[in-house]
Structure 1
């Protein structure tokens, strides 16, 4: 395994390329760095001992193999110090369903998985279609000289209203979660004192809102997921108050943050590929494969982190217990060994199976719901505004783990 990779006629070390991915420029467009890293091998090791996995086959192994585990509570203490649990922002993220290992993960996932079965998600289609039409109407009303911010007007409100209805979060309370969730999830990217403080504040505000809703659901049950979680706790399922609130916060946050990325990244990709966009507009049967290709082309989740629990060989590299491994699923989705012409957007790409929703026991619970929202949204959007185009400015969240837009100005009619 070499530690040097060619890029644009120059040669950069693996550490230089990994460092570049941690810069604003690298996070804004990580794909050239991914390609350069892949030149050094499907699996590369930095000088600090951390391992980066770039190939599709090896990333698939990382997300499926139980030897690649999330941080244990003990390893979190070693990495962040013994007082890490005193920070609500860290506890709410790293002590949640997102990062737990069995048996706690198995128990908590079993409580909520029933709400996201394919049958139940498909039953939501009429509600999603109605929400999409309402937002398209609102986009016309909000447009100034034909221009509107697509993220504010559509990409954010659609998933936040869908997951809000599912959980039972009141409509008036949903918009304020946007900034809170952004601050809370930043700990997945970097851990600095400033980031942790902001995450603590955001986590407390999220929890305060949910605590009030839990009190209300105990007094007046409703037909929503939050009531189901409350009743499961009351019926003897071993769900503590902290687990209840942490799980509810995760479901609501994850239920819209990644879908915002799918919708924003997807529309930007279609705008940059007018031929593929015209094909989608002309052929509704292309919708399902198109969403898979948009997920592959510019994934809303770019990295998955694990800690090795036992000796394992991956990509020809032997990795020992305690080693931190990052699976760059954004790179895996453009691996030329798995995808022909990986840097091209091909909406009818055969055999498409992007790793954007992870895999194994941590496969995204809301994957079917996110797909449904995108499958309804993109055709409806293009039919309603066939001349829609991006006119800028475009602002992207300064993050690699969660890749999404914070603003994108579009013109509704050409």
Structure 2
């Protein structure tokens, strides 16, 4: 199978459901492969790391447009104004408008709040009767409450953003079926209109009554000229909220699914023989919530792993494949939270390294440090299979039914 065929296979339902066999084939082709039509496929760990850090490579707006016209779609227009696809000089000023919260000091200051919210959600789980969807009851709510508290978004408004995020972030997904792509864009456009309306109203409220929150801080950046206009402010508030909890939600879901598949690791977290931070890193490596990213060559003279990348060439980075590169990791398909050399590329690298990476790691570490001990019998709900979302860029579960004491369900 050549690189172009492999890309097409990744876009099939089977490829999206389990891309890892295709990643293994990609490694057989080499770390970097031309994939036709001005596209290069990168799957090697060191090659991906180089591309992420290469100054001559930039964020690719194709990650959100996939050939569609942003002027015709509110969702693409919104995301195209965001930090997600910005390059210098815009990237620096957009990042500066929101970076203070995500420094090591800023994230450390949030730890007490993350612990409080986690414990409250576990208390809610404790009151559940029978099977409960972990994705809805915990995995979505933890990052959503953390970021919404920071932004000053009222609790009554938060549930709506899960649907908005699912629809809007679907624009990041390449599609082989034009009809499905159009349907997805229509849903994303409706979500973008609602999100735009919500943040426009919230900005108006903060202008009248400033608060001690991120929205007020970014509004000040707008008034100081760091953000160009209210459209850019809204776009970056929206992407910060929606992209922020989407990634962490699926990190939590993928992590729990792996615990069910590896009960010895669950026991190790409970008794302290498996370090929780090592577990989180291995989840990020083994089943990353972010599988793909895009870059574009900004000028001639760039090469990746020795392959020339002419200006304008699109580069598809298989981060999920890089995290299982046999040239980087021994027995890469084995889940092993005791690895001492795990450096997953799940949050990217270089100038575009994920702004919320430290916060996502903190939330996951707190959550998985508590779940196994709070619910020693936690297990999958009998007769209720988990469902994965039909996506390849952002990999995660749509539902993950669990019971808090699988031993009772089994009649033990």
Q: TM-score, normalized by length of structure 1?
A: 0.92
2:335 to 339, 345, 369: 345
Deviation of residue 77 (structure 1)? 9.3
Q: Deviations over 1:341-384 (max 9, x none)?
A: 11111112112110011011111111111011001001211111
TM-aligned CA distance change 1:72 to 1:289, over 3 Å: closer
CA drift of 1:175 comes to 0.7
Alignment deviations for residues 116-152 of structure 1 (CA, whole Å, 9 cap, x no partner)? 11112111111111111111111122332xx211101
**Stretch deviating more after TM superposition (90-99 or 354-363):** 90-99
CA RMSD of aligned residues (A): 1.9
Residue in 1 that maps onto 2:394: 402
Q: Indicate which of 251, 256, 259 corresponds to 2:240.
A: 251
Is 2:156 aligned against 1:164? no
Q: Are residue 272 (structure 1) and residue 261 (structure 2) matched?
A: yes
| Aligned partner (choices 145, 155, 160) of residue 139 of structure 2 | 155
**1:14 counterpart = 2:3:** yes
Contact 1:286–1:348 (Cα < 8 Å) also in 2: yes
Q: TM-score, normalised by structure 2?
A: 0.92
1:385 corresponds to: 375
SS class of match (2:82): coil
Aligned counterparts of 1:114 and 1:31: Cα–Cα separation in 2: 37
Deviation at 1:236, TM superposition (A): 4.3
Deviation at 1:321, TM superposition (A): 1.4
For 1:63-120, what per-residue CA distance to the aligned partner results, in whole angstroms no more than 9, with x for missing partners? Answer: 11122212369x9999435xx2342100111221010001111011011111111112
Distance 1:205 1:72 in 2: 23
Hey, what's the Cα distance between the residues in 2 that align with 1:239 and 1:318? 36
Q: 1:354: which partner in 2?
A: 344
Does 2:311 align with 1:327?
no
Aligned length: 398
The Cα of 1:196 is off from its aligned counterpart by 2.0
Q: Which residue of structure 1 aligns with residue 275 of structure 2?
A: 286
CA distance in 2, matches of 1:313, 1:247: 31
**Aligned residue number for residue 370 of structure 1:** 360
Structure 1 residues 284, 235: CA separation in 2 closer, same or farther (over 3 Å shift)?
farther
Q: List alignment gaps of at least 5 residues for structure 2.
A: 176-180, 408-412
Secondary structure in structure 2 of the residue aligned to 1:89: helix
Whether the aligned pair in 1 keeps the contact of 2:94 and 2:227 (CA below 8 Å) is no
Equivalent position SS for 2:346: coil
Aligned CA distance change for structure 1 residues 13 and 236 (closer, same or farther; 3 Å): closer
The 5 Å alignment of 1:58-97 reads: 58-71=47-60, 79-81=67-69, 84-97=70-83
Query: CA shift at 1:326, angstroms?
Result: 0.5
Provide the rounded CA distance (Å) in 2 between the counterparts of 1:262 and 1:71. 24
For the residues of structure 1 that align with 2:61 and 2:17, how far apart are their CA atoms? 31
Distance 2:77 2:200 in 1: 16
